[in-house]
Amino acid sequence: MLPAIDAIFREMDAKSARARELSDLVADLEAYWGKSIDEAANDEHARYVMLKEELAAALQAVNEAAIRLTGLGCELKDPNRGLVDFYAYVNGDLVYLCWQRGEKDVAFWHTLEAGFPGRRPLLK
């Protein structure tokens, strides 16, 4: 399952990077043209609309990827770090198993309240 999760994070990274680029382009057009960018007569209006549509699609793709993670039983904690938690029982207590990109296996857990700083190794 970890390869599938990592693939989803790679997709999120690419779509998020594209969304940032598009957001910058949209902001530049808005800063330069002001409210006139919304007018069809503006030479850049069609490009502006296209960029906004592409931005919305990129953001939607990121959201859909996050939903796919949930469908795999993950709780997305930090998309930038590639951090997810999974519910599990350790010593009879409900906890989170914790994994982040770059880790070979799920090897840590923490209480539901502790979060990432409270991570403990599964095996001692």
Number of domains in the chain: 2
- Do 62 and 92 sit in the same domain of this protein? no
The CA distance from 9 to 1, in Å, is 13
Domain boundary among 32, 51, 72: 72
Q: What is the pLDDT of residue 87?
A: 96
* 8 A C-beta contact, residue 87 and residue 94: yes
- Do 101 and 42 sit in the same domain of this protein? no
- Do 19 and 57 sit in the same domain of this protein? yes
- Do 7 and 64 sit in the same domain of this protein? yes
Q: What is the pLDDT of residue 51?
A: 98
- Do 44 and 105 sit in the same domain of this protein? no
- Do 29 and 45 sit in the same domain of this protein? yes
- Do 27 and 52 sit in the same domain of this protein? yes
* Residue with tokens 């990274």, as numbered in its chain: 13
| Tens-level pLDDT at each residue, the chain (124 residues) | 899 999 999 999 999 999 999 999 999 999 999 999 999 999 999 999 999 999 999 999 999 999 999 999 999 999 999 999 999 999 899 999 999 999 999 999 999 999 899 999 998 6
Q: What is the pLDDT of residue 100?
A: 96
- Do 64 and 82 sit in the same domain of this protein? no
The CA distance from 68 to 77, in Å, is 14
- Do 47 and 105 sit in the same domain of this protein? no
Domain boundary among 52, 72, 92: 72
- Do 59 and 9 sit in the same domain of this protein? yes
Residue 9 is encoded by which pair of tokens?
A: 């994070």
- Do 65 and 112 sit in the same domain of this protein? no
Instruction: Give the 3-state secondary structure of 29-95.
Output: HHHHHHHHHHCCCCCCHHHHHHHHHHHHHHHHHHHHHHHHHHHCCCEEEECCCCEEEEEEEECCEEE
Q: What is the pLDDT of residue 123?
A: 82
Q: What is the pLDDT of residue 124?
A: 62
* 8 A C-beta contact, residue 96 and residue 29: no
Q: Enumerate residues 6+ apart whose C-beta is below 8 A from 71.
A: none
Domain holding 108, by residue range, is 77-121
Segment 117-122 long-range contacts (CB within 8 Å, at least 24 positions apart): 122/90, 122/97
